[in-house]
Structure 1
Amino acid sequence: MDQDLKGWFTERSPMWPGQAFSLKVDKVLLDTRSKFQHIQIFQSSNYGKVLTLDGAIQFTERDEASYQEMITFLPLNSHPAPKKVLVVGGGDGGVARELAKHPLVEQVVQCEIDEKVVEACKEHVPSLGQGFSNPKLTLYTGDGAEFLQTTDQKFDVIITDASDPVVNEGEEGTKDGPAASLFNEDYYTRMKAKLAPGGILCCQGESIWLHADLIIRLVANCRRTFPVVDYAYTCTPTYPSGQIGFILCSTNPNTNFREPVTVWDESEVERLGLKYYNAAIHRAAFVLPTFMSTRLKNAK
């Protein structure tokens, strides 16, 4: 917990310099280290339970649906038959939870590098950790980039739910985080090799307000590899700048991410228990501010 503001957690990072974000802490539930990262879970006063990794907020119960539902259903509802899905990362269980809701998904394979995050969320945040009870799920522990190199399986959809590539070590400076390999440009090439015909991938795509250069570089690289590449975003108040994006790629040249193939009406959205995602939000997620749409148009 931050000592400058007693009783509050304050997030600072070299990936968003010159700004900080604080949440009032009611109770610390877990404060431990794995061999990869510093894991904290606390009960906040207004946002429910919160998971942080190396001092960066991964979710709060209050607004997690805006991220978990969008990173899951933007790609799934853009694919006509998303039967087999790979999740890289996602150690909190949120994506696995959402995948269990989709009627077309038959099999889920997940590769998470840090088993301590999985166990922490299962124990302390069952609202997300319940995702690991998905009967369609097979969970592997290990590096996602290495898993892609070694597996012979093919997937209709690959979702990369990664933490940020750089973390803060305080006075010692910065270091690559456990997800750094998932932001390397050749990672997208590895994912393409594991997609079934017509396959789609969706990756956590950082913030247009803070990481535009990184986003442009990744999108330009993807356009050299995939016939269809697009960028969408969602509003999540407790992420830096209140916004986070997704890079979507398809091997099918006829894919139009902006018009979902599967459209759920209001009754279906309610039946599935969705809090954020619907067909209108799907379409709106691709409407970007002028400064970013112009840069993405010219990214090559």
Structure 2
Amino acid sequence: MECCDSVCLIKDGWFREINDMWPGHYFALKIDSVLSCEKSDYQDIMVLKTTNHGNALILDGVIQCTEKDEFAYQEMIAFLPLCSHPNPERVLIVGGGDGGVAREVDKHPLVKKIVQVEIDQKVIDASKKYLPNMAKGFDSPKLELKVCDGFEYMKCHKNEFDVIITDSSDPIGPASALFSESYFSLLKGALRSGGIICSQGGTAWDDIETVKKTLDHCRRHFKEVRYPIAGVPTYPTGQIGFFMGALDGNSDLTTPKFKFTDEDLEKYDLKYYNTQIHSASFVLPNFARKALYE
């Protein structure tokens, strides 16, 4: 097994997520073994078998998902934009190499076509081997998977998608460009009329200045912009936010256009998202609301 630099974050049977993006604290996972560790052309890729959280995907020393709580993030980043759009027939996923977002997007009954662009084939391969419940998203008959750069793909595909979901890692390494103003400009150009975007948005608890800066990038290209939040225990501070933008200034992103019934929630095995969670996710604590909206 090829070694990667992230192995140095393992000590005494614990993986420690130590990073300057969340100064002064770290999250740790007790592990049973290292299942895989390799370097791709873009990043360190490590998969751990943890004691209490199932298998965990680590990129450049940062937890991307664990089998125990991945559904919270995957469902929210998918269904917040999908259910806010009246007819999300064509969907683009940028990133999402573990397959979890594709798994959720496939469940929406109005979606007819999914295109996914992921830059790192080795993330896809590791996920298929060690994270099969997420990677089954790659088996969707609606999905067209392309291993390429999302920037370059959108430059060549204008006015094609109803919803674009960016499932990126944090703004370091290969994902840093996905938080730039030029990226939001590309997103806008790739959308059809009435289109909606949703991107991974970090946490307001650790670096609200970066969240506000990125939200301002989004505001320069979208008429309606929001920052909903969700609880994911193994992410920094236990919370993740999303940058949502709509081309239509009259869009109410807080009220879903499509509503899953209780029977749908069972049918599609939704463990986190529902209509009430959708609306509630846009209610921010006072410090975040003031910093981001006032």
Q: TM-score scaled to structure 2, two decimals? A: 0.95
* 1:288 paired to 2:284: yes
- 1:154–1:3 distance in 2 versus 1, CA, 3 Å: closer
Give the superposition deviation at 1:222.
Answer: 2.1
Q: Which moved more, 1:117-126 or 1:3-12?
A: 3-12
Give the superposition deviation at 1:66.
Answer: 0.7
From 255, 260, 263, the counterpart of 1:264: 260
Give the superposition deviation at 1:206.
Answer: 0.6
Tell me what 1:86 maps to: 92
8 Å CA contact 1:9, 1:25 repeated in 2: yes
Provide the C-alpha distance between the structure 1 equivalents of 2:62 and 2:217, rounded to a whole number of angstroms: 27
* 1:245 paired to 2:270: no
* 1:35 paired to 2:45: no
Deviations 1:194-235 (A, max 9, x none): 100000000101101012111111222322221111110100
From 105, 109, 123, the counterpart of 1:99: 105
Counterpart amino acid of residue 148 in structure 2: G
Provide the C-alpha distance between the structure 2 equivalents of 1:127 and 1:144, rounded to a whole number of angstroms: 24
Q: Secondary structure at 1:157's aligned position in 2? A: strand
Tell me what 2:225 maps to: 229
Give the superposition deviation at 1:118.
Answer: 0.3
Tell me what 2:3 maps to: none
8 Å CA contact 1:2, 1:8 repeated in 2: no
Deviations 1:153-206 (A, max 9, x none): 61000000000122xxxxxxxxxx111110111110111011000000001011
8 Å CA contact 1:199, 1:250 repeated in 2: yes
Counterpart amino acid of residue 280 in structure 1: Q
Taking the TM superposition and a 5 Å limit, the aligned residue runs for 1:100-119 are: 100-119=106-125
From 171, 185, 197, the counterpart of 1:189: 185
Provide the C-alpha distance between the structure 2 equivalents of 1:75 and 1:218, rounded to a whole number of angstroms: 18
Q: Which moved more, 1:143-152 or 1:210-219?
A: 143-152
- 1:34–1:4 distance in 2 versus 1, CA, 3 Å: closer
From 50, 72, 77, the counterpart of 1:44: 50
From 24, 37, 41, the counterpart of 1:18: 24
Deviations 1:96-141 (A, max 9, x none): 0001111000000011010000011011110111111111111111
Provide the C-alpha distance between the structure 2 equivalents of 1:95 and 1:239, rounded to a whole number of angstroms: 17
From 100, 124, 129, the counterpart of 1:123: 129
Q: TM-score scaled to structure 1, two decimals? A: 0.93
Give the superposition deviation at 1:78.
Answer: 0.1
- 1:234–1:289 distance in 2 versus 1, CA, 3 Å: same
Provide the C-alpha distance between the structure 2 equivalents of 1:104 and 1:252, rounded to a whole number of angstroms: 20
Q: In the comparison of the two structures, how many residue pairs are matched?
A: 288
Provide the C-alpha distance between the structure 2 equivalents of 1:151 and 1:222, rounded to a whole number of angstroms: 20
Counterpart amino acid of residue 123 in structure 2: V
Q: Secondary structure at 1:77's aligned position in 2? A: helix
Counterpart amino acid of residue 221 in structure 1: H
Tell me what 1:145 maps to: 151
- Stretches of structure 2 that go unaligned for 5 or more consecutive residues are 1-6
Give the superposition deviation at 1:152.
Answer: 4.2
8 Å CA contact 1:75, 1:200 repeated in 2: yes
Tell me what 2:13 maps to: 7
Q: Which moved more, 1:142-151 or 1:45-54?
A: 142-151
Provide the C-alpha distance between the structure 2 equivalents of 1:221 and 1:46, rounded to a whole number of angstroms: 38
Provide the C-alpha distance between the structure 2 equivalents of 1:35 and 1:125, rounded to a whole number of angstroms: 21
Counterpart amino acid of residue 89 in structure 1: G
From 192, 197, 201, the counterpart of 1:201: 197
* 1:72 paired to 2:78: yes
* 1:154 paired to 2:160: yes
Identity of aligned residues (%): 48
Counterpart amino acid of residue 293 in structure 2: K
8 Å CA contact 2:180, 2:217 repeated in 1: no
From 50, 53, 58, the counterpart of 2:59: 53
8 Å CA contact 2:159, 2:193 repeated in 1: no
- 1:4–1:114 distance in 2 versus 1, CA, 3 Å: closer
* 1:210 paired to 2:224: no
Give the superposition deviation at 1:150.
Answer: 2.2
Give the root-mean-square deviation of aligned CA atoms: 1.2
Provide the C-alpha distance between the structure 2 equivalents of 1:38 and 1:220, rounded to a whole number of angstroms: 30
